[in-house]
Every structure is written in C-alpha cells, then in structure tokens.
Structure 1
Amino acid sequence: MKIRQVAWEDADAMRLRARQRAEIAVRYGTEDSEPGVAPSAADVAVFLLAHDPDGVAVGCGGLRDLGAGVGEVKRMYVEPDRRGSHAATLILRALEDWARSQGWTRLRLETGDRQPDAVRFYTRSGYERIPNFGAYAGVESSLCFERLL
C-alpha cells in the first residue's frame, strides 16, 4: 500500500467519500446522519488516499483542524473488499504523523453506535472513549474518541 496526500477535490477522494457516505446512509437509514458540520475543502487540513500495488485508490481519511493543537479525523473509509489489508491502519498512522509534524498534540473523532467495526478499529489503534465534544455533545448515537500524540 502506498499513502499519498491529495486535494479534497481529487476524483478518487470524491469517489471514496461518496461510497463512505452511501455505506453510512444504509447503516443509519438516512442520507444525512452527520451530527456536525460536514467536512469540506475549506476546513480539511490534509486528505490522504491509500493505493494498492496496482495504483487503485482503496481507502481515504482526512483531518480537520479544531485549533489549540487538536485535530479531528474525518471521512475514514476503506473499500469493503480491501478491509483487513491494513489500509486503514496505514492511513490513520500517516494522519497521526502529519498531525505531529504540525505540532498537534491530540486527535479526536466521532463515530456512530451502528459502527462497531469502527469502534473496534479505533480502540485497537489507541483511541480512548471521551465525552462527546462540539457538535456531537448530546447526540446519543455519537461515540467520541481521542488519542494523545
């Protein structure tokens, strides 16, 4: 797997984000399950893609700058047939490395109560459950996590 930084508007990034949103819509039964402000080119500091040995983009993830040395993981996704390939781990570690290079000291994220696979992945990756923050405060279906860098 090769990880590379791309623009938010990159065609593969847009394709993978659309697939991520479609999967979330199926799990939650709604097109708009985003409790907070959806990420955009204006507020995502970095966006990464994972490419397989054939150069096919199979996963993605980005970071939103929350200020005060804190970032938020956004739009983590790996194609279903590529899960278990370590693509998600490589993306997340590359995001953490990028955050450290910017002087950030922690990363936060939100996932939902219908995503036990995501909860397992983030917990295995060293993220610990925290009280819901920001737009997720008071949202019962949101589960928030944080990792000190």
Structure 2
Amino acid sequence: MTAELIEGTELRSVPGTDPAVLALTTAQQAELAAMYGEDQPLVALHPDIAFTLLLLDGTPVGCVGLQPVSPGLGEIKRMYVDPSARGWGLSRVLLKAVETQARATGLTRLRLETGTHQTEAIALYTNHGYTPTPPYPPFDTEPASLCYAKDL
C-alpha cells in the first residue's frame, strides 16, 4: 500500500478484529455519541471491511476501513484519527491510502457517510473531490447524516 507518509508514520493492513482497530473505533464511537447523542446512527461493522491502521512512532493513532458494496463500489468506514494526533495531516494520509487500496482492488467509486457536525471531515472529503450524494440505507432516514461519493 502506498501513500505519502509523514515522517514517523507507518500504514499496516489489519483485520477489523485487530485490538488497535477495536480501540480506535470504540474511541470514535464514543466521540460521536458525545457529539450527536441519540441522533447517532449505530451501524455494526461488516466482516468484509479491510482496515488500514496508521501508526505514529509505533503507536496506533488512526484507522480507516474499506468495505466492498457492489461491483466497482466501495464504502469508507470508521475513518478516525485520535485527538492527540490531529492537525498533522494524518487524515489525508489515511484517505490517500484507502483510495489507493480501493483502486488496487478494482473499485471505481467510493462513498461514505459523515455527520452534520463533523466540519473537519466534511472539509477533508470535499477538498479531495468527494461530492454530496443522496443518503443511502441505512443513513437515508438519519437527519444528522451526510453522504458523499467520488469516482476514482
């Protein structure tokens, strides 16, 4: 997997059962619950999600998942950078990594869901060519959900 790395970072392909991924996604869900309360859609992780773990000086600080949806279509899942490691461009590293992975597996389009209060995430995605799309299930009835997609 190739992506422009920041000094001290390492990307690793890991399963969704990896303890570092579980810790990061649990922290993400707690952060979202604090942000959205009852409005947060709770979606279980699909077993087909391939995760990329981002380490900074050997410490897991971020992750992103890629879930195949249908031929040519994939979905970005659980992209997260620990608050202690934000502001250094690590989310861009993760986004480039998941796009590279998607292309390598034959996907031609990526979609994702984020929340209305996640202004940094919205800016990241729109600055990298993701455009708003109609919400898709299970987010089509969630008022706090925004959906985006990008042709690769």
> After TM superposition, is the score higher than 0.5?
yes
Structure 1 regions of 5+ residues with no counterpart?
Answer: none
Taking the aligned partners of 1:76 and 1:51, their CA distance within structure 2 comes to 14
Deviation at 1:90, TM superposition (A): 0.9
Taking the aligned partners of 1:11 and 1:39, their CA distance within structure 2 comes to 14
**1:33 aligned residue:** 40
- Aligned-residue sequence identity (percent) comes to 41
- Aligned residue pairs total 144
Q: Does 1:87 align with 2:90?
A: yes
What is the aligned counterpart of 1:43 among 20, 44, 48? 48
Deviation at 1:43, TM superposition (A): 2.8
Equivalent residues of 2:55, 2:61 under 8 A apart: yes
Deviation string, structure 1 residues 29-81 (Cα, Å, up to 9, x no partner): 23x8225x4223x231x1011111x2001000101111121011000000112
What is the aligned counterpart of 1:130 among 133, 142, 145? 133
Deviation at 1:116, TM superposition (A): 1.4
What amino acid maps onto 1:136 in structure 2? F
Q: Does 1:3 align with 2:11?
A: yes
**2:103 aligned residue:** 100
**1:117 aligned residue:** 120
More displaced stretch, 114-123 vs 12-21: 114-123
Q: Does 1:21 align with 2:29?
A: yes
Taking the aligned partners of 1:66 and 1:27, their CA distance within structure 2 comes to 28
Equivalent residues of 1:39, 1:64 under 8 A apart: no
Structure 2 regions of 5+ residues with no counterpart?
Answer: 1-8
Deviation at 1:139, TM superposition (A): 2.3
Equivalent residues of 2:41, 2:139 under 8 A apart: no
Taking the aligned partners of 1:83 and 1:90, their CA distance within structure 2 comes to 12
Equivalent residues of 2:53, 2:63 under 8 A apart: yes
Given the two structures, how large is their TM-score scaled by the length of structure 1? 0.90
